[in-house]
Structure 1
Amino acid sequence: MAKLFDMSKKVLVVVASTRPGRLGPAVASWFVRATTGTAIDLGVEVDVADLAEVGLPFLDEPEHPATGIYQHEHTRAWSRRVAAADALVFVTSEYNFAMPATLKNAFDYLSAEWAWKPCLFIGYGNTSAGTRGVQMARGVATSLRMLSIGGDIFLRIADDLSDGEVTETERLAARAKDALTELTRVADVLRPLYRADLEIVPAVSGDAPELLVLQRCCWVDEAIANETLDLPALVESEDEVRAALRTWTTWCVRSGGRLVGSVRAKRDGDTWNIGRLMVAPDQRHSGLGRRLLSFAESQAPAGVTEATLFTGARSERNQALYQKAGYSLFTEDAPAGAVGLRKPL
């Protein structure tokens, strides 16, 4: 058996301001330095995302973020980075009693990737030490279903920074360490809400009845989207599902003894064919589909150069999921009513 999800913890530190002469990178660097030992002790990996380097244009996605349908690679890259995080630290200044527009823009690009994760704010500024900007940002974070844990850190430029760098004191370092410790503890508690820690196991013949039920549940949406009931997943018998287990390597994911996800793959020359990626309807939007896909890719044997899969020509959500994972559409050799997607491995 293999763990489907990485149990290490990742904290994403987001530097909000992008203006010339900004202090955000220095504040973020101080936080990382001050918490290095604590992060090692807690098994935490800290990633700094400077929005000046991330380079998100003003929101340019035609679909609502809640759909998860992203047209642009800059959005997909931002999605992957936030989705990988277990907790967030937002380093933000205050402009005219508000957070920088760049932070609001970064928030607005995504939806599910933020949900149920704990967050902490580090504000900096002059008279208010950035408190009003943080207050505005906290409201947006809450609306995105993040949990603001409190214990935020506020730095007054006149008192806590000198020559563009944070004045390193034991008092500030202790606050940073305590903040990261608390953030990590809350992430451990919330983890089941945003990242199910499930095991993936090879399917056996006895799984055929449940696989049949699961694929029929999952392919109803496909039938509606593509206006056809003539889909193998809907018309196969239990014996046909069991026979497929002999020709495809198939994996299952269970939760509380219930089959909630599956994927299969087989080799064809230098191609790794992936199929029947399915997640129980009540488990969707949890990231399970993305992780099953990633797991299937990781099982490709030596010598394989690309992964391919097929989905309905009108299955926009599926196509968006695969394109976010790095797949490109193709139509040659695709079955009638379907499109193919491929990705170099």
Structure 2
Amino acid sequence: MALTLNIVTCSTRPGRIGPSIAQWFLEYAREHSAFDCRLVDLVDFELPVYNEANHPKSGIYEHEHTRHWAASVNSADAFVFVLPEYNFCPPPSFVNALNYVYTEWNYKPCGFVSYGGAAGGVRAALLARQLVTTLKMMPMVEGVMVPMAWNQIDDNQVFHSNELIDPSATGLLVELEKWAKGLKSMR
């Protein structure tokens, strides 16, 4: 039975380029890994700023959007978060999505495909790695950073990788698979 990898587009703002990068990573992961890969877009869940009355650890969810999100998170064995850097941080939509559920994240590995200006979103990914550890997730050291990402998207909104980005994507997928297999027994 294949492990499931959710590739999560974390930016929700109009005009975002995250879906193009996430689509590239989905295709790359399908070709270079043993994961059953799924594309997940935070926009589709319409999560307001956290609005559940009970603590996420309780697993008691009042709202349909939370139950829908919890089911999506629970269904995966591993995650890749495709996220931009906003003011040296991950986007608020990513932080909000993390906060909605708790046990559904536990003992699952994750990686980051970050994008932005010259730093390629690396500062956002560093902070995101810290955040996920509080959910008992295992962030990978390996990651993909895409500097000046908008320069690699064509007129049809297709992201084009290069010889610097592809090896880091392969490294991330190799490590994610090892950790996903190991952590599955803990769940």
- Provide closer, same or farther for how the CA distance between residues 172 and 128 of structure 1 changes in structure 2, counting only shifts above 3 A: closer
**Residue in structure 1 matched with residue 24 of structure 2 by the alignment:** 30
Please give the secondary structure, in 1, of the residue aligned with 2:113: strand
**Residue in structure 1 matched with residue 96 of structure 2 by the alignment:** 105
- Count of residue pairs brought into register by the alignment: 185
- Over aligned residue pairs, what C-alpha RMSD do you find? 1.6
Is the contact between residue 114 and residue 146 of structure 2 (CA under 8 Å) also seen in structure 1? yes
**Residue in structure 2 matched with residue 62 of structure 1 by the alignment:** 53
TM-score w.r.t. length of structure 1: 0.51
Is the contact between residue 35 and residue 173 of structure 1 (CA under 8 Å) also seen in structure 2? no
Residue 156 of structure 1: CA displacement?
A: 0.6
**Residue in structure 2 matched with residue 3 of structure 1 by the alignment:** none
Where in structure 2 are the equivalents of 1:10-29 lying within 5 Å? 10-29=4-23
Please give the secondary structure, in 2, of the residue aligned with 1:99: coil
Residue 34 of structure 1: CA displacement?
A: 1.6
Residue 178 of structure 1: CA displacement?
A: 2.8
**Residue in structure 2 matched with residue 83 of structure 1 by the alignment:** 74
2:116 to 103, 108, 125: 125
Aligned mates of 1:13, 1:158 — CA distance in 2: 18
Where in structure 2 are the equivalents of 1:1-345 lying within 5 Å? 7-39=1-33, 42=34, 44-157=35-148, 161-163=152-154, 164-194=157-187
Aligned mates of 1:11, 1:35 — CA distance in 2: 9
Residue type at the aligned position of 1:106: A
Residue 170 of structure 1: CA displacement?
A: 4.2
Residue 158 of structure 1: CA displacement?
A: 5.6
- Provide closer, same or farther for how the CA distance between residues 192 and 158 of structure 1 changes in structure 2, counting only shifts above 3 A: closer
Residue 160 of structure 1: CA displacement?
A: 6.1
Residue type at the aligned position of 1:28: A
Residue 80 of structure 1: CA displacement?
A: 0.9
Aligned mates of 1:104, 1:98 — CA distance in 2: 10
Q: Deviations over 1:88-142 (max 9, x none)?
A: 1011001111111101100000000111111101100002211111112111101
Structure exhibiting the larger radius of gyration computed from Cα positions:
1
Please give the secondary structure, in 2, of the residue aligned with 1:76: helix
Please give the secondary structure, in 2, of the residue aligned with 1:154: strand
- Provide closer, same or farther for how the CA distance between residues 58 and 119 of structure 1 changes in structure 2, counting only shifts above 3 A: same
Aligned mates of 1:178, 1:160 — CA distance in 2: 24
Q: Deviations over 1:26-52 (max 9, x none)?
A: 11011111222223xx2x211111111
Aligned mates of 1:65, 1:19 — CA distance in 2: 25
Aligned mates of 2:67, 2:149 — CA distance in 1: 39
Is the contact between residue 90 and residue 125 of structure 2 (CA under 8 Å) also seen in structure 1? yes
Residue 162 of structure 1: CA displacement?
A: 3.4
Residue type at the aligned position of 2:22: A
Q: Deviations over 1:213-251 (max 9, x none)?
A: xxxxxxxxxxxxxxxxxxxxxxxxxxxxxxxxxxxxxxx
Is the contact between residue 120 and residue 149 of structure 2 (CA under 8 Å) also seen in structure 1? no
Which is strand-richer, 1 or 2? 1
Identity %: 37
Is the contact between residue 109 and residue 180 of structure 2 (CA under 8 Å) also seen in structure 1? yes
Residue 175 of structure 1: CA displacement?
A: 2.6
**Residue in structure 2 matched with residue 216 of structure 1 by the alignment:** none
Is the contact between residue 160 and residue 167 of structure 1 (CA under 8 Å) also seen in structure 2? no
Residue type at the aligned position of 2:85: E
Relative contact order higher in (CA < 8 Å, ≥ 6 apart): 2
Structure 1 residue ranges without an equivalent (≥5): 1-6, 195-345
Residue 171 of structure 1: CA displacement?
A: 4.2
